[in-house]
Amino acid sequence: MNMDKTSTGAPVHPAPDAPVHPAPEAAAGPAATQAPGFGPAPVAPAGYGVPVVPVHAPGYAVYVAQTVPKELRVGAGARFGAYLLNLLLMVVTLGIGWLVWAMVTWSTDAANPGQKILGLTIVKKDTGARLTWGDMFVRNFLLGGLVLSFLSGITLSILAWVNLFKVFGSEKQSLVDSMADTVVVRRTV
Protein backbone atom coordinates (compact mmCIF):
# COMPACT_ATOMS: atom_id res chain seq x y z
CA MET A 1 0.00 0.00 0.00
CA ASN A 2 1.46 3.32 -1.13
CA MET A 3 1.05 6.07 1.49
CA ASP A 4 2.52 9.06 -0.36
CA LYS A 5 0.48 12.29 -0.58
CA THR A 6 -0.15 12.18 -4.34
CA SER A 7 -2.11 8.95 -4.15
CA THR A 8 -4.84 10.34 -1.88
CA GLY A 9 -6.78 11.93 -4.73
CA ALA A 10 -6.47 15.43 -3.26
CA PRO A 11 -5.14 18.18 -5.58
CA VAL A 12 -1.42 18.74 -5.38
CA HIS A 13 -0.48 22.42 -5.34
CA PRO A 14 3.05 23.81 -5.41
CA ALA A 15 4.34 25.59 -2.31
CA PRO A 16 3.87 29.40 -2.44
CA ASP A 17 7.62 29.98 -2.89
CA ALA A 18 8.13 27.04 -5.29
CA PRO A 19 8.68 27.89 -8.97
CA VAL A 20 5.73 27.25 -11.24
CA HIS A 21 6.60 25.48 -14.47
CA PRO A 22 4.95 26.47 -17.76
CA ALA A 23 2.31 24.24 -19.27
CA PRO A 24 3.40 21.96 -22.12
CA GLU A 25 1.25 24.03 -24.53
CA ALA A 26 3.05 27.21 -23.49
CA ALA A 27 6.43 25.60 -24.07
CA ALA A 28 5.48 24.98 -27.70
CA GLY A 29 5.03 28.75 -28.23
CA PRO A 30 2.07 30.98 -29.05
CA ALA A 31 1.78 29.52 -32.54
CA ALA A 32 0.52 26.28 -31.00
CA THR A 33 -2.56 27.94 -29.48
CA GLN A 34 -3.09 30.99 -31.72
CA ALA A 35 -4.14 31.30 -35.32
CA PRO A 36 -1.53 32.73 -37.71
CA GLY A 37 -1.36 36.50 -37.68
CA PHE A 38 -3.16 36.92 -34.36
CA GLY A 39 -0.08 37.45 -32.24
CA PRO A 40 0.77 36.12 -28.82
CA ALA A 41 -1.85 34.98 -26.38
CA PRO A 42 -2.78 37.40 -23.60
CA VAL A 43 -0.15 37.25 -20.88
CA ALA A 44 -1.30 36.61 -17.34
CA PRO A 45 -0.20 39.06 -14.62
CA ALA A 46 2.55 37.99 -12.24
CA GLY A 47 1.48 35.41 -9.71
CA TYR A 48 -0.70 33.39 -12.05
CA GLY A 49 0.86 29.98 -12.36
CA VAL A 50 -0.43 26.86 -13.98
CA PRO A 51 -2.20 24.72 -11.38
CA VAL A 52 -1.01 21.15 -10.92
CA VAL A 53 -3.47 18.32 -10.41
CA PRO A 54 -2.72 14.63 -9.95
CA VAL A 55 -3.40 11.95 -12.52
CA HIS A 56 -5.07 8.68 -11.50
CA ALA A 57 -1.66 6.99 -11.22
CA PRO A 58 0.04 7.73 -7.88
CA GLY A 59 3.14 9.90 -8.01
CA TYR A 60 2.40 11.49 -11.39
CA ALA A 61 1.13 15.03 -11.90
CA VAL A 62 0.14 16.81 -15.12
CA TYR A 63 -0.23 20.46 -15.99
CA VAL A 64 -3.72 21.81 -16.59
CA ALA A 65 -4.32 24.83 -18.81
CA GLN A 66 -5.38 27.97 -16.97
CA THR A 67 -8.36 30.13 -17.88
CA VAL A 68 -7.95 33.72 -19.06
CA PRO A 69 -7.46 35.82 -15.88
CA LYS A 70 -10.29 38.17 -14.93
CA GLU A 71 -7.91 41.15 -15.01
CA LEU A 72 -7.45 40.75 -18.78
CA ARG A 73 -11.18 40.62 -19.56
CA VAL A 74 -13.04 43.66 -20.86
CA GLY A 75 -15.72 45.15 -18.66
CA ALA A 76 -19.18 46.50 -19.36
CA GLY A 77 -18.04 49.97 -20.47
CA ALA A 78 -16.03 48.76 -23.47
CA ARG A 79 -18.76 46.27 -24.39
CA PHE A 80 -21.40 49.02 -24.30
CA GLY A 81 -19.18 51.28 -26.43
CA ALA A 82 -18.79 48.51 -29.02
CA TYR A 83 -22.57 47.95 -28.96
CA LEU A 84 -23.29 51.64 -29.60
CA LEU A 85 -20.66 51.77 -32.33
CA ASN A 86 -22.22 48.72 -33.99
CA LEU A 87 -25.65 50.39 -33.92
CA LEU A 88 -24.21 53.53 -35.52
CA LEU A 89 -22.40 51.49 -38.19
CA MET A 90 -25.59 49.53 -38.94
CA VAL A 91 -27.54 52.74 -39.51
CA VAL A 92 -24.82 54.34 -41.65
CA THR A 93 -24.28 51.25 -43.83
CA LEU A 94 -28.00 50.36 -43.94
CA GLY A 95 -27.22 47.03 -42.25
CA ILE A 96 -25.88 45.38 -45.39
CA GLY A 97 -22.42 46.95 -45.21
CA TRP A 98 -22.21 46.12 -41.52
CA LEU A 99 -23.18 42.49 -42.18
CA VAL A 100 -20.51 42.07 -44.88
CA TRP A 101 -17.95 43.77 -42.64
CA ALA A 102 -18.96 41.52 -39.75
CA MET A 103 -18.47 38.37 -41.85
CA VAL A 104 -14.93 39.53 -42.67
CA THR A 105 -14.00 40.57 -39.13
CA TRP A 106 -15.37 37.33 -37.70
CA SER A 107 -12.70 35.43 -39.63
CA THR A 108 -9.80 37.89 -39.40
CA ASP A 109 -10.15 39.36 -35.91
CA ALA A 110 -12.72 37.23 -34.02
CA ALA A 111 -14.75 40.37 -33.37
CA ASN A 112 -17.67 42.33 -34.79
CA PRO A 113 -16.94 45.69 -36.49
CA GLY A 114 -17.50 47.77 -33.34
CA GLN A 115 -15.21 45.52 -31.30
CA LYS A 116 -12.56 45.62 -34.04
CA ILE A 117 -12.54 49.43 -34.06
CA LEU A 118 -12.19 49.51 -30.26
CA GLY A 119 -9.38 46.93 -30.32
CA LEU A 120 -11.33 44.07 -28.72
CA THR A 121 -11.38 40.40 -29.63
CA ILE A 122 -13.19 37.27 -28.45
CA VAL A 123 -11.15 34.33 -27.16
CA LYS A 124 -11.89 30.97 -25.61
CA LYS A 125 -12.06 31.23 -21.84
CA ASP A 126 -10.06 28.08 -21.11
CA THR A 127 -7.19 28.49 -23.62
CA GLY A 128 -7.07 32.13 -24.70
CA ALA A 129 -7.14 31.08 -28.39
CA ARG A 130 -9.13 33.33 -30.69
CA LEU A 131 -12.34 31.99 -32.18
CA THR A 132 -12.66 30.73 -35.75
CA TRP A 133 -15.32 31.98 -38.16
CA GLY A 134 -17.47 28.95 -37.35
CA ASP A 135 -17.13 29.57 -33.61
CA MET A 136 -18.14 33.20 -34.13
CA PHE A 137 -21.16 32.14 -36.21
CA VAL A 138 -22.33 29.74 -33.50
CA ARG A 139 -21.67 32.27 -30.72
CA ASN A 140 -23.17 35.38 -32.33
CA PHE A 141 -25.85 34.11 -34.69
CA LEU A 142 -27.11 30.84 -33.25
CA LEU A 143 -26.64 31.43 -29.52
CA GLY A 144 -26.86 35.23 -29.39
CA GLY A 145 -29.36 35.79 -32.16
CA LEU A 146 -31.70 32.85 -32.21
CA VAL A 147 -31.53 31.19 -28.78
CA LEU A 148 -31.31 34.31 -26.60
CA SER A 149 -33.92 36.21 -28.65
CA PHE A 150 -36.34 33.30 -28.31
CA LEU A 151 -35.66 32.89 -24.59
CA SER A 152 -35.91 36.64 -23.99
CA GLY A 153 -39.31 36.69 -25.67
CA ILE A 154 -40.53 33.80 -23.54
CA THR A 155 -39.26 35.32 -20.28
CA LEU A 156 -40.65 38.79 -21.15
CA SER A 157 -37.14 40.32 -21.32
CA ILE A 158 -36.11 39.14 -17.86
CA LEU A 159 -33.18 37.47 -19.62
CA ALA A 160 -31.95 40.91 -20.74
CA TRP A 161 -31.68 41.95 -17.08
CA VAL A 162 -29.87 38.74 -16.21
CA ASN A 163 -27.44 39.44 -19.05
CA LEU A 164 -26.85 42.96 -17.73
CA PHE A 165 -26.05 41.66 -14.24
CA LYS A 166 -23.70 39.03 -15.65
CA VAL A 167 -21.70 41.61 -17.64
CA PHE A 168 -21.23 43.73 -14.52
CA GLY A 169 -20.39 40.62 -12.45
CA SER A 170 -16.98 39.37 -11.42
CA GLU A 171 -16.62 37.01 -14.42
CA LYS A 172 -17.16 39.87 -16.95
CA GLN A 173 -19.11 37.56 -19.26
CA SER A 174 -22.45 37.97 -20.98
CA LEU A 175 -24.93 35.12 -21.31
CA VAL A 176 -23.64 34.42 -24.82
CA ASP A 177 -20.08 34.28 -23.46
CA SER A 178 -21.16 31.85 -20.76
CA MET A 179 -22.93 29.58 -23.23
CA ALA A 180 -20.04 29.64 -25.72
CA ASP A 181 -17.32 29.54 -23.01
CA THR A 182 -15.68 32.72 -24.33
CA VAL A 183 -14.45 36.07 -22.98
CA VAL A 184 -13.81 39.47 -24.57
CA VAL A 185 -10.25 40.84 -24.20
CA ARG A 186 -8.18 43.64 -25.72
CA ARG A 187 -6.14 42.63 -28.77
CA THR A 188 -2.42 42.35 -28.10
CA VAL A 189 -1.31 43.07 -31.67
Kindly report, residue by residue over 40-72, the tens digit of the pLDDT: 555 545 444 444 444 444 554 444 456 888 888
Residue 19's pLDDT is 52
Q: Is residue 187 very low, low, confident or very high in pLDDT (cuts 50, 70, 90)?
A: confident
Beta strand pairing call for 61-63 and 120-124: unpaired
Q: Is residue 152 very low, low, confident or very high in pLDDT (cuts 50, 70, 90)?
A: confident
Q: How far apart, in Å, are the Cα atoms of 159 and each of 49, 50, 57, 69, 174? A: 36, 35, 45, 26, 11
Average pLDDT, the chain: 77
Residue range 149-170: average pLDDT?
89
Residue range 130-145: average pLDDT?
93
Query: Rounded to an integer, what distance in angstroms lies between the CA atom of residue 171 and that of residue 29?
Result: 27
Residue 142's pLDDT is 95
- What is the tens place of the pLDDT at every residue in 6-40? 444 455 555 555 555 554 444 444 444 554 555 55
Lowest mean per-residue pLDDT among 46-55, 86-95, 108-117: 46-55
Residue 49's pLDDT is 47
- The percentage of the chain sitting over the pLDDT mark of 70, rounded to a whole number, equals 65
Residue range 120-126: average pLDDT?
93
Tell me which residue of 169, 128, 139 sits closest to 38, measured CA to CA: 128
Is pLDDT of 113 > 90?
yes
**Cβ distance 83 to 117 under 8 Å?**
no
